[in-house]
A = this chain, B = another copy of it.
């Protein structure tokens, strides 16, 4: 047992201790390996860091990454100062909102869910999820783009036996929708990604797991139902050996594919997140004026380890470790689809990262339109599978992409919002709403099966 006074002495790069759930860890040697950067730990050293630890990591985080020697003891409870916890204004607001949360049965569409999430999420959580890059142009345009595409429905075709099921990379899915990998589900709900995994099982959806998930891969794999398909989203680490370990692990855990994110060699400038100032700044000297430069957005603590020199040739290296099919996530023009094809990729996810990376990055439906104009053969002959994400909120959005040649559509924020508001049940609700909207839309277009959706069923407004 270690006294709290002793703990308080270790607050420097030379000797850095933190206390989590009553245990004391010496993280001095771990500082430089912390995915979230040094300052986040340093600013919580010499004290009880349980709060922030739980907000971002799962219980197994330190157990997995620290050696037994680094766990140096248990705090002497008698020495821990009694801190009167004063809730912040934001915490009180959230508490009240959660008490009065809308009955889930009253939700009609995904916008309803976003509205609830906005109410019950902490300011930091909301700001991280909702944040977009720079002017917000890419995010806003993701939505606006759909208003450029209109249906050309067919009538007097039998549609009683509508079937929304399809396959993605050969994996059966209850509908042409999957869970786009997204970081930090714990910001919204203490069970984090686990809820999404369980909900996806119920709904028959394939889930993409983010490299920055707030639950560990093991925890998520553990939560799977028998045979439930998962895809792993990969950020390649500057230290390729770490990535190799990860790849071997997910292969062994039975993940079905790798979704390699390529639109984030560095993280975008996410202003809402930055202005919420949820965490200490990566790389900043952790002293001085707490009111200004030393705190930054949540994203600031995420992307530091990415290999920003990754190139097409590195796919060979990944293939040397795993035979899992590779989907390139973040492709944004037809030329890169062609290269992905040359490199034997199983699919490409057209995406501007939810409008969180490059300002004025194109909407995926517009990229898809470009491919349809310039390389319809890729789509019509399914030379590789093409997916879209970003701004999809309606069955009609999904159907437009499918008519134009996409195999499936990813939803990111809607699942995070649903998880934040209703946990696992929310995930199922999103799927239920989407399933109904897609089925109704198919019938009103005059089709019974996904394969009957055709390019001539969509026109583009000049």
- Kindly report which residue of chain B lies nearest to residue A307, judged by CB atoms: B160
For the complex, is A358 an interface residue (Cβ under 8 Å from B)? Answer: yes
User: Closest Cβ of chain B: how far from A86's Cβ, in Å?
Assistant: 25
> What B residues does A137 contact at CB under 8 A?
147, 396
Q: Which of A358-415 contact B (CB under 8 A)?
A: 358-362, 366, 394-396, 400
A269 in the interface (beta carbon within 8 A): yes
Residues of B within 8 A of A88 (CB): none
Whether A263 and B308, one on each chain, are in contact in the complex, defined by CB atoms closer than 8 angstroms, is no
Restricting to A338-361, which residues have a CB under 8 Å from any CB of B?
339, 357-361
The smallest C-beta distance from A240 to any residue of chain B, in angstroms, reads 14
Cβ contacts under 8 Å, A320 to chain B: none
Indicate if the CB atoms of B396 and A135 lie closer than 8 Å.
yes
A22 touches B (CB below 8 Å):
no
Q: Does A440 contact B (CB under 8 A)?
A: yes
Question: Which residues of B are found within 8 Å of A266, using beta-carbon distances?
Answer: 159, 440, 443-444
Nearest-neighbour CB distance to chain B for A81, whole angstroms, equals 32
Cβ-defined partner of A332 (8 Å) among B153, B289, B328, B330:
B153
- Whether A335 sits at the interface, judged by CB under 8 Å, is yes
CB-defined contacts of A141 to chain B, threshold 8 Å? 150
Determine which of B265, B312, B357, B360 lies in contact with A150 in the assembled complex, contact meaning CB atoms within 8 Å: B360
Overall SS of chain A's interface: loop
Judged by a CB distance under 8 angstroms, whether A193 is at the interface is: no
Q: Does A96 contact B (CB under 8 A)?
A: no
CB distance from A261 to the nearest CB of B (A): 9
Give the distance to chain B from A124, nearest Cβ to Cβ, in Å.
16
Q: Does A156 contact B (CB under 8 A)?
A: yes
Question: How many residues from A make CB contacts under 8 Å with B?
Answer: 72
A437 to B268, CA, bound (A): 9
B residues within 8 A CB of A268? Answer: 440, 444
With beta carbons under 8 angstroms apart, the residue of B153, B262, B362 that contacts A358 is B153
A304–B314 alpha-carbon span in the complex (Å): 56
Q: A361–B441 contact, CB under 8 A?
A: no
Determine, out of A50-58, A104-112, A211-219, A244-252, the stretch whose residues face the partner at the interface. Answer: A104-112
Q: Report the nearest B residue to A158, measured CB to CB.
A: B309
A66 at the interface (CB under 8 A from B): no
A-B contact pairs, 23 of them (CB 8 A): A103-B292, A109-B134, A109-B271, A134-B396, A150-B366, A151-B361, A153-B263, A153-B332, A153-B333, A154-B333, A155-B262, A155-B263, A155-B332, A156-B310, A156-B312, A156-B314, A159-B265, A264-B444, A335-B456, A359-B396, A360-B400, A361-B444, A362-B459
A-B pairs with the 9 shortest C-beta distances? Answer: A359-B396, A105-B293, A158-B309, A358-B444, A155-B262, A105-B292, A152-B333, A160-B308, A160-B309
